[in-house]
Structure 1
């Protein structure tokens, strides 16, 4: 297989490794905030999908003939989109806003080869954030910062981030940041994995 993951995301790499999918990781050179600004007003799922496609196409230009996997995740709470926190205080502000609300996590993936998107998919997980006290937020960031600084939603579900939630509706892999089961299905359909 000649799969290239257009990301340096630790969770996305771990998912592919655990699933036994051989790949190499090459991050895309996309200014995500500028790209999102161009899509202002679009639905969060559409933005996540457009970013996944853009990442796959960006890396595809440098790797002719190779299959490129782009992925992106986006969080929205009460109609407001959130990016990765810029600082620890920014992370605390995000957590205060999330407290007691439903977080919608949109994860998307796209496969491209030779500047053509062959497949894409977007998935949604809904995460009910419990009421978070200031004491908890301080303690949580004391343990999880700076690792959660690279995470939309300010959490790693595989670590202490699980303590933020009362309930989760949606696929576990979507919560981790990539709709893995549809990706594996697409890789089989494209003949890249045994069916």
Structure 2
């Protein structure tokens, strides 16, 4: 069987793979995401794919013969790309900005082997945050914890954060940052999982 390496320290992506019983090791990519974003002129969706590509290609040369998974996700609102919030006050401001409005989570997945990309996938989830009350936001900010700055949306969709939404269109796992079913198909195709 081919070995899989996750080029990310993301706790959410790690948990998804573990719960799906996918064998893997972790080797986080050390890329300058800020520099990639600063020189990138494409759409938010293309940016997510480019970041995933950069991560996979950064780790692949040091993991000879193994399949390396790079993944990234960008929040798209009114045509602009948003990254993770730097602190709780920025997360609160972002949730207030999105209150009652639609946005998208766009993601990119890339598999590389020996410095070559062998598979890629893009995802898009349309999300509508409801007109949440200030009281609910206060409670959410108290209880959400590290997720406020760990993900681009500042919400734990698999938990209390689900209460933020009135509508979500897209793959549940893609919302969490790792579109699992397309990835599992690719992992079977490339010998990580049994067909």
Q: Does TM-score exceed 0.5, indicating one fold?
A: yes
What SS class does the counterpart of residue 127 from structure 2 fall into?
strand
Q: How does 1:48-67 map to 2 (within 5 A)?
A: 48-67=48-67
Give TM-score scaled by structure 1 length: 0.95
What SS class does the counterpart of residue 61 from structure 1 fall into?
helix
Structure 2 distance, partners of 1:65, 1:38, is 31
Q: How does 1:60-75 map to 2 (within 5 A)?
A: 60-75=60-75
Gaps of at least 5 residues in structure 1 are: none
Q: How does 1:1-195 map to 2 (within 5 A)?
A: 1-40=2-41, 42-195=42-195
Question: Would you say the 8 A contact 2:29–2:59 is kept in 1?
Answer: yes
What SS class does the counterpart of residue 62 from structure 2 fall into?
coil
Question: Would you say the 8 A contact 2:108–2:120 is kept in 1?
Answer: yes
Deviations 1:5-55 (A, max 9, x none): 001111111111111110011111012122111113x11111111111110
Deviations 1:70-106 (A, max 9, x none): 1001111222221100111101110111101112001
Structure 1 distance, partners of 2:139, 2:103, is 21
Structure 2 distance, partners of 1:6, 1:123, is 18
Gaps of at least 5 residues in structure 2 are: none
Q: CA RMSD in A?
A: 1.1
What SS class does the counterpart of residue 50 from structure 1 fall into?
helix
The ranges of structure 1 where at least 4 consecutive aligned residues each deviate by more than 4 angstroms after the TM superposition are: none
- Larger mean CA deviation between 154-163 and 142-151 belongs to 142-151
Question: Would you say the 8 A contact 2:87–2:148 is kept in 1?
Answer: no
Question: Would you say the 8 A contact 1:77–1:101 is kept in 2?
Answer: no
Structure 1 distance, partners of 2:115, 2:167, is 40
Aligned residues: 194
